[in-house]
Amino acid sequence: MQQVYKSLFFAFTTLFISYLSAAQENQSDTTITSVDADLVSIFTQKVPKKYKIAAIKVAGNHFFDENLLVSISTLNVGDEVSIPGGDNFAKAINKLWAQNYFSNVEIYLTKLEGKNITVEINVTERPRLAKFYFTGIKKGDADDLNAKTGLIIGRVVTENMKRSALEAIKKYYAEKGFQDVKTKIEEKKDNSIQNSLQINFIIDKGGKTRINDINFAGNTIDGLKLKKRFKDTKEQSRLTLFPPDNSGGFITPHRYTFQDYLAEKGYLTYTLSRKLLDPYVRIKLFTSAKFNEKKYIDDKEKLVEYYNSLGYRDIAIEKDKVFKNSKGSMNIDIKINEGHKYYFGNITWRGNTKYTDSVLTAILGIRKGDIYNLDNLNKKLGKGAPEGADISTLYQDDGYLFFRTDPVEVAVYNDTIDYEIRIVEGPQATIKNVRIFGNDKTKEKVIRREIRTIPGDKFSKTNLIRSQREIAQLNFFNQEKIGINPIPNPEDGTVDINYTVEEKSSDQLELSAGWGGNIGLTGTLGVTFNNFSIYNILHKKAWDPLPMGDGQKLSLRVQSNGRAFRSYNFSFTEPWLGGKKRNSFTFSIYDTKYANAYNPATGTYTSSAANSSYIQTTGLGVNLGRQLKWPDDYFSLSVGINFARYKLKNYYIDQINLPGFNNGFSHNLNFKIALQRNSVNQPLFPTNGSNFLLSLALTPPYSLIDPNVAKESNPYKWIEYNKWRFTGEWYAPLTKPTGEERNKMLVFKAAAKYGFLGRYNKDLSISPFERFQVGDAGLANQFALLGYDIIAHRGYPVYQSSNPSINPEQSGASQYFTIFNKYTFELRYPISLNPSSTIYALTFFEAANGWYSMKDYNPFQLRRSAGVGMRFFLPMFGLLGFDYGIGLDRVTPGGSLKDAARFTFMLGFEPE
């Protein structure tokens, strides 16, 4: 700024002459070369006179256009200026200087003709950034800093630019735990570009600073509990010994070294092992952590919130000190003033006419004598509470959109606080307009039929939340971008509701191909259109590239494994048959053939072998579903009729129970009914809700109608059975992150599944069809031709023995179960919830087993497994996933966990 002040000074004093003389010596021929005495005299006159700017020139500019600089200066040809005493030139200098592009700005008068003057603006441009480097750090860190520093090649180099870059470097490493980072800037001229610089940031990040001790003073609550409130500020790893007290419990922990502890026990020389540790001494391992100032401030707020939840409303952190100890680690001392612990007193209501005090008090759920917790009170009143658990939802579900509450402290005595909750009910609001935005492909009727907020109905908060869930369940839109915006109209007591959606691709493509030598061509081609429109299939304009938007599902799949296997599948689903009610209609047809195509005589796969031994399954099914209103509208009921024909040629399906049946036909005509309640909030990554399904599939009791059926050589010409299935799944969030991370919550899933296959006639063996195959990844194989339900069990191959002590690898599987139980527990964490790639990681514990009769059934005899996995939902390919499971009952004496581990993969669907 010194140059600015000098320039301003010379513009209005006679010192202008000295500046002008200096310019004569240093400037090129583009600047002033002589001194005009008349020009100098105008600065010495005692009375200011007006002069007109006749011309404006610019000197010293290399990158900036002359006309641009003149425009920024606000000087114009024809302007009148007063000399001395005018401020036109001072303003021009300030305008140019404010651009931060120049290291010096001066204005000269170069010519005087009568009252006309010629003005020259002389600038010294700052150099521009040609290149920049980061040295002394890893390439990965340098790549990160390229973006975080905000440096851009070609930009003018300013002190502010360099200062911002240094601050970004310091912040970047501070977040990584390096609090002592030092950065030196080296500049050198770049000869390849005029007036440009290369900048080298030499970084010494130093050592990582870890927190050694967090100490509290003034607290009555145990310090360990307070430390747990700190989410991101934790002490570094150490072993803390908890000596036992006389009652077998543990006294307050104190930290001392293993050496001290062992010396007390009399071990002067030792080899450290677990055997030396007293069995009554616990070892607690604290998580290592780096210090981050921003997160430390957030953690202090969490500490205050924790105290508030315990009734300490006057809690204050009087002072805190963050300092380094002699070893370079960081200590934190926090002094707390807890204040008094308060309790709720009398809670009264005022202004309520719709509901009585007793009803509101019951829903509030806070009684006199409860620990004071203002946050809990606000949540119960509806300020950030879960859906359906607050006073606000009670009113807003009955149309009281303008309802509000104001809790007021009316008395504070001793440790008790009385509240009066003042209610303004307002009028009931009626829904006026419901608008939908963003549905570029999906027809509006498809969304509108899912919405529970109908014009003319009273406003309902619960219906608003339910509408969001139903739109998400369509899986046509980005679930993170579904927006609902109620716009109240107080003047007429109505409300407009705007829904916004963002389309995403929900179609799936399955494509693979190969050549198997003697097997022949192998491959799969499958397409699933989840938002199809069969109504527009004959309209050419609707093919873009396919008729879409009516919410129907069309699936086509062709699979071949050369001469050994081929399969054709087609299915179509209309979720709203008739368009007025949620009545679904599904039609499917398939034809599958599996052959023993291997010819042992030639050692090759031949067509003749494939045609001489095979099983072929052809079937079709029709299913109708309906949403129920009772017990609630999460329930649905579906009924279906299915027919399958099994053709066998020199192919045994059960040599144990049917040793003579390897040629002929079997038919399966069954009626299926299923009752389901599904309240999960999202289809791809559910975070709460549940899904229960109870189903029964049964055939006519042929052997009861005709007792001779059981005596026939093929008693399964018409298969008979009754199959019962139950599935229960629960989802619950274990964490509740906020801000940008609000959707990245740790989710717990629990599932229980049961299956039973029964018979009508005790003289007839249970059907070899429709059984339960347990184990492996749950992917379909040739046994799916027999209608087997394939139950995945991660960490195990397919097994046929109910005894967990029998290793499945040794026993193999040639027959399958009529009863199964399966239990699953998972922890899921999302890595990406982007609609283009939903990815989450999981860890699981699973237990399952199968049995052949109720006599053998033992629900506590289960095979256990544990492991980790990943799931990838890609719009074009559906589900891709893998699990690494360890079969805990496969671990043999002297064996390792690695020998009991098993990778399983899944494609297209989540196995049962």
Would you say residue 33 has pLDDT above 60?
A: no
pLDDT of residue 45: 75
List 793's β-bridge partners, or say none: 776
pLDDT of residue 430: 95
pLDDT of residue 269: 44
Instruction: Extract the tokens encoding 290.
Output: 């780096």
Q: Contact 211/291 with Cβ under 8 angstroms?
A: yes
How far apart are the C-alpha atoms of 798 and 109, rounded to whole Å?
96
Could you read off the pLDDT of 368-396 as tens digits, one per residue?
999 999 988 998 998 764 545 789 989 99
Would you say residue 869 has pLDDT above 90?
A: yes
How far apart are the C-alpha atoms of 702 and 672, rounded to whole Å?
17
Q: Residue 562: which pLDDT band, with cuts at 50, 70 and 90?
A: confident
> Which residue, 305, 303, 299, 140, is CA-closest to 211?
299
The rounded percent of the chain whose pLDDT value lies above 90 is 41
Output 547 or 259, whichever has higher pLDDT: 547
Would you say residue 528 has pLDDT above 80?
A: yes
Arithmetic mean of pLDDT, 492-506: 92
How far apart are the C-alpha atoms of 732 and 385, rounded to whole Å?
16
Instruction: Extract the tokens encoding 205.
Output: 């990040």
- 3-state DSSP call for residue 693? strand
Arithmetic mean of pLDDT, 452-473: 92
pLDDT of residue 78: 84
pLDDT of residue 24: 37
DSSP line for 572-623: EEESSTTSSS-EEEEEEEEEEEEE--EETTTTEE-HHHHHHSEEEEEEEEEE
How large is the angle between the packed helices 159-175 and 139-148, nearest 10 degrees? 130
Q: Residue 111: which pLDDT band, with cuts at 50, 70 and 90?
A: confident
pTM exceeds 0.95: no
Would you say residue 15 has pLDDT above 50?
A: no
Arithmetic mean of pLDDT, 788-814: 79
Q: What is the DSSP letter of 871?
A: E
Long-range residue pairs from 21-27, CB within 8 A, at least 24 positions apart, any chain = 23/106, 23/108, 23/122, 27/59, 27/122
Q: Contact 158/129 with Cβ under 8 angstroms?
A: no
Would you say residue 444 has pLDDT above 50?
A: yes
pLDDT of residue 657: 63
Q: Residue 22: which pLDDT band, with cuts at 50, 70 and 90?
A: very low
Instruction: Extract the tokens encoding 311.
Output: 């009734």
Residues in Cβ contact with 798 at an 8 Å cutoff, skipping those fewer than 6 apart: 773, 774, 775, 776, 808, 813
Q: Residue 877: which pLDDT band, with cuts at 50, 70 and 90?
A: low
